[in-house]
Structure 1
Amino acid sequence: MFAELRRMNARQVALQVLNILTILASALMIWKGLALALNNESPIVVVLSGSMEPAFHRGDLLVLSLPNEPIQVNDICVFKLPERPVPIVHRVIKLHDDAVTGKQYLLTKGDNNPGDDRSLYDYRQMWIHQENVVGKVRGFVPYVGMVTIVMNDYPMVKYVLLGVLGLFALVQRE
């Protein structure tokens, strides 16, 4: 590999670097385009647990949008709680509209869980606020997110994959 790199002149190395930067910029543009089209800063999430089976399985890639209309019972939402680092994908099972503040409150539950999510909420919290909702599920792609799960569970895979892609980019010639 290094012998191949030494044989390249500065122009060829610069071209390879620009190709890699173009790929990264394209991925960022696709992400931002999805964010704009779906009106959501986080338009795609991966299901990390089996709590929503059989609707969604671990590794499914979910496409989210911010709801323009009020959330309804049976909507599947992704919400982020302040004390939890990872968003949660669960179904809305009850709603409570506060007439005084005009806010909507939700009670959620994973389809595969025996009880509601009150044990996940803050201490003594009975409902989550609509402000906690990251997005409403609009569609999904089965098992595509397994790559993300494998790279998070086994960080060495991430570095090996990046190394292989880097070698491939350096060895490829136009």
Structure 2
Amino acid sequence: MFADEIASLRRQGVRSILFQILNFISVVSTALAMWKGLSVLTDTESPVVVVLSGSMEPAFYRGDLLFLSMPSGPLKVGDIPVYKVPGADIPIVHRIIETHDAANGEQLILTKGDNNESDDIALYNGARWMRRSNMVGKVRGYMPYVGYVTIALNDYPKLKYLLLGIMGLSLIFQKE
């Protein structure tokens, strides 16, 4: 099945194989540098997130890719922040339904999913408000359905390893 490719690999020599490995490392490091640069430009640790549930329908659907940035000014009712609840791994994307300024000047927010019956107080681990310091970013734009690739790779880990294997093999057996 791979006899021709293996023979081709043997003919290439060590120098050519090392060049292909270096090329692969260069592609990966460029992608990481671009991600970090985007994080710096948007002032958020995660400038892109994927919607994982239907709680924000019809505004956003499962699989939509959201683009975030950290706003410098105060948030308003109707804004859609992405925030992390302390102790939870997955960030939440919900609309602001109420804001409050604390005595220390910090802005506090109350959120609710567009498709949910009640506000998010139950998600705040006993707090009445979500602190702005828990915010990952504010939604600035989105691309519908593009995030389904990420969802599929997380839901089916074997698919992730299969794709990584195919990419690795294609780099090794690639002809110049």
TM-score interval (norm. to shorter): over 0.9
Alignment equivalent of 1:72, drawn from 69, 76, 79: 76
* Mean CA deviation greater in 85-94 or 35-44: 35-44
Alignment match, 2:135: 133
TM superposition shift of 1:55: 0.8
Alignment match, 1:53: 57
1:76-87 pair list within 5 angstroms:
76-87=80-91
Letter matched to residue 133 of structure 2: E
Deviations 1:46-90 (A, max 9, x none): 111111111111111111111100011000000001121110011
TM superposition shift of 1:29: 1.8
Alignment match, 2:36: 32
**How many percent of aligned residue pairs carry the same amino acid?**
54
Secondary structure at the counterpart of residue 94 of structure 2: strand
Alignment match, 1:173: 175
Q: In structure 2, how many angstroms separate the alpha carbons of the residues matched to 1:138 and 1:166?
A: 35
- The unaligned stretches of length 5 or more in structure 1 are none
1:82-161 pair list within 5 angstroms:
82-98=86-102, 100-123=103-126, 125-161=127-163
TM superposition shift of 1:8: 2.2
- TM-score using structure 2 length: 0.93
Alignment match, 1:41: 45
**Aligned pair count?**
172
Q: In structure 2, how many angstroms separate the alpha carbons of the residues matched to 1:131 and 1:107?
A: 13
- TM-score using structure 1 length: 0.94
TM superposition shift of 1:3: 3.6
Q: CA RMSD in A?
A: 1.1
Secondary structure at the counterpart of residue 9 of structure 1: helix
